[in-house]
A and B are shown apart, each in its own frame.
Chain A
Amino acid sequence: MNLCKRACLYSIRKKGKTLTLLAFLLVMATLMLTCLSIQSATETANANIKKALLGYFTINAKTLENGIPEDTVSQILAMDGLSGRYTLRSYTYATYFDADGNLLEINTEGAAQVPEGYENAGRVVANSNSQEDSYFTDGGFEMVEGNPITTETGSQVLIHEKFAQRNGLSVGDTMLLGNVEDKDKTIPVTVAGIFTNTEKQDSIGMAPSYDLYDNIVFTDLSTASFLLYGTEGTTNVQYGDFYVNDPDELERIMTDVQELDGVDWENCTLTRYDNDYQNAKESLEGLQNIVFIAIAVVSVICFLVLALFLTLRLRGRIHETGVYLAMGISKGSVLLQYLLEVILVAAIALVISFGTSTAISHQIGSSLLSQVTSETYETVDLTGESETAEEPTEDLGLAEIEVAVSAEDYALVWAFGMVLCVASTALAAYPIMKMKPKSILSQMS
């Protein structure tokens, strides 16, 4: 009778022992698989957060007199690790004229004051793409008519719909933006679009007239550069936001930026913006650490308990071992039989554990992950307190994360389970196997 048949017959006929081992291995495999599933889910969550909460750095000109030259911006954009997404911004003020040079009327209702010289002026916001400006992304501004402004569009502006109504302007009309201090320094621009604000301005009653929403004008960087620095042909900017692919790489990239040749760092500063990501990451890392510790503890406990369980089981089989050895069956064959018995049961336990861990990890894992996710949203201030109607979970891409048993995790548990069985059986059988057959037979009697 070969060892496989002996192992099968033992497993079938010693039902109580087999079922006990099965239950034990099933619990172990389920625990292990559940922990791994949660860990995988947190890794996915971390990756999603990385994508959602992009890290970026800002370079800004220290003084209004000198902007950041176009060359510096080009050098930064050529660096490795940047996502390709960037925003260049400049802020200034301009007096508004119609095409004929007549002053245009601004809104002063609700203004804290109308500063002298700014009676017909407003804030000019310039960036590389008006749609990516924070007024549009976070401030509730939206386009009513026309198109956004980009670096390619040339000398154009977006005006508020109330400003347009007040001055009879529409898309395609021309107006002039003039330097507040030097009214002769004007630049003609075309109205490319009209926007409105969907949220009421918080600073009504506190803001000066030029900062009221109605009086804001969006334009391109070149136009702002002309108003700020009087430059023509080149575009200097006040601020540049540069997004990176991996927020964890931000530190390195910023170091590389600081080593760029030809940048006048006396006039520029670099600022890091990845607090949201770091905070969110910290929350997830907490869960990851807990799961990692759980995996380590479960592994060690599984090994020790299984070894103890098998030691007790094999101690009860010294008699059988002695008989096999007396019959000339080799120690290796006896050990393999015992190992095969455990592996047979482990294989069944691992198959069943797929179902049990799927159910358990879905329940426990989702609960744990949602708890951490809500902590993450609180950390990055995207909770329901936000006035946006969007579900916060959609912002970070965590809503679609499902705690499920992956093929990789399943394969890992199979491999680990088999190694555990071999190690535990070897450890449990070692004291018996190192004995001489006569010693075993003496113990039998």
Chain B
Amino acid sequence: MSIMEIKQVGYSYDNKKKVLKGVNAEMEQGKLYAILGPSGCGKTTLLSLIGGLDSPGSGQIYFDGQDIAKTGLSDHRKNHVAFIFQAYNLIDYLTPAENVSLTSKLPPLPILERLGLTKEEAKRNVLKLSGGQQQRVAIARALASEAPVILADEPTGNLDEDTAQDITEILKESAHKINKCVVVVTHSNELAKQADVVFRLKKGELQVLERVQDGAAQPQSRRNNTPRSERRAK
């Protein structure tokens, strides 16, 4: 059953340029969705609408069958979705552990350790971490929020190939093992290849390029299957 449903969503900048024209989509928990498309086609706008950062010009967005415009966008952002940004967007005066605890009451260390950060790194200034580590903290923050939907905007855009692969793995695991609905806006074909469903946004319309059937075996990581914390320890 779909957790997010997008129905006939339209959006235009300043009521002039129409970037989304009657977009329809359904998204389920336990799946990784990738949205591809050229720059400026409205990918990030669509993600913002799904995440309740903005309201669509027309159409509705449903979470768990309820129109988020009616239940409240702030409430939707607080309880239903978690964002991961290309620029990480961590709060610079908080440690990684404190960033994770911002909207979560779960202990942050187990989540951070699961994503490959040591205890020392979890208490360090976030700006002293590498890009990959900062993105892990951002993902940990999203996971800790217990929101069923994770929205990631170019999460690997600033990262090198190896780290990007790591982050892709984590997102995939979040979908498949933690049963999150992960929606990723990306230019990366590598990331798109790992997705269960790939959408292409073109001329304001959303097309499904590929859909992996429910219950199908997930492709293995191309690198290795060693847990990240162990890999880092090596």
CB distance B103 to A327 under 8 Å? yes
CA distance A13 to B91 in the complex (A): 12
Q: A290 in the interface, Cβ–Cβ < 8 Å? A: no
Known: A437-B53, A437-B54. A327 touches B87 (CB 8 A): no
State how many residues of chain A have any CB contact under 8 Å with chain B.
Answer: 22
Q: Is the CB of A320 within 8 A of B91?
A: yes
Contact A444 B87 (CB under 8 A): yes
A-B pair number, CB within 8 angstroms: 64
CB <8 Å contact, B89 and A319 = yes
A9/B102 in contact, CB under 8 A: no
B82 at the interface (CB under 8 A from A): yes
Q: Check A9/B54 contact, CB under 8 A, given A1-B98, A1-B102, A445-B87.
A: no
Whether, in the assembled complex, A329 has its beta carbon less than 8 Å from a beta carbon of chain B, the answer is yes
Are B102 and A330 in contact, with the CB atoms below 8 A? no
Closest chain A residue to B101 by CB distance? Answer: A1
Contact of B94 among A9, A319, A326, A436 (CB under 8 A): A9
* Bound-state Cα–Cα, A60 to B151, Å: 97
Instruction: Count chain B CB atoms within 10 A of each CB in A13, A320, A437 and give the residue with the most.
Output: A437
Residues of the A chain whose Cβ atoms lie less than 8 Å from the Cβ of B193 = none
A:424-445 near B, CB below 8 Å: 436-438, 441, 444-445
**B52-89, CB under 8 A of A: which get 1 and which 0?**
01100000000000000000001111110011011101
* Residue numbers in A under 8 Å from B77 (CB-CB): 325-328, 437
A200 at the interface (CB under 8 A from B): no
CB of A18 to closest CB in B, whole Å: 11
Q: Interface digits, A2-41 against B, CB 8 Å rule (1 contact, 0 not)?
A: 0000100110011000000000000000000000000000
Question: Does A436 lie within 8 Å of B54, measured CB to CB?
Answer: yes
Interchain CB contact under 8 A, B89 and A436: no
Q: For A10, what are the chain B residues with a Cβ–Cβ distance below 8 Å? A: 93
Q: Give chain B's interface secondary structure class.
A: loop
Q: Are A323 and B91 in contact (CB under 8 A)?
A: yes
Q: B51 on the interface (CB 8 Å rule)?
A: yes
A1–B92 Cα gap in the complex (Å)?
Answer: 15
Most B CB contacts (10 A, CB to CB) among A320, A322, A326, A328 go to A328
* Contacting residues, chain A, for B133 (C-beta < 8 A): none
Does A444 lie within 8 Å of B89, measured CB to CB? yes
In the complex, 15 of the A-B residue pairs with CB atoms within 8 angstroms, ordered by the A residue number, are A6-B94, A320-B91, A325-B53, A325-B74, A325-B77, A326-B77, A326-B83, A327-B102, A327-B145, A328-B76, A329-B78, A329-B102, A437-B53, A438-B54, A445-B87
Chain B contacts to A: CB under 8 angstroms: 45, 48, 51, 53-54, 74-79, 82-83, 85-87, 89-94, 98, 101-103, 141, 145
A residues with CB within 8 A of B: 1, 6, 9-10, 13-14, 319-320, 322-323, 325-330, 436-438, 441, 444-445
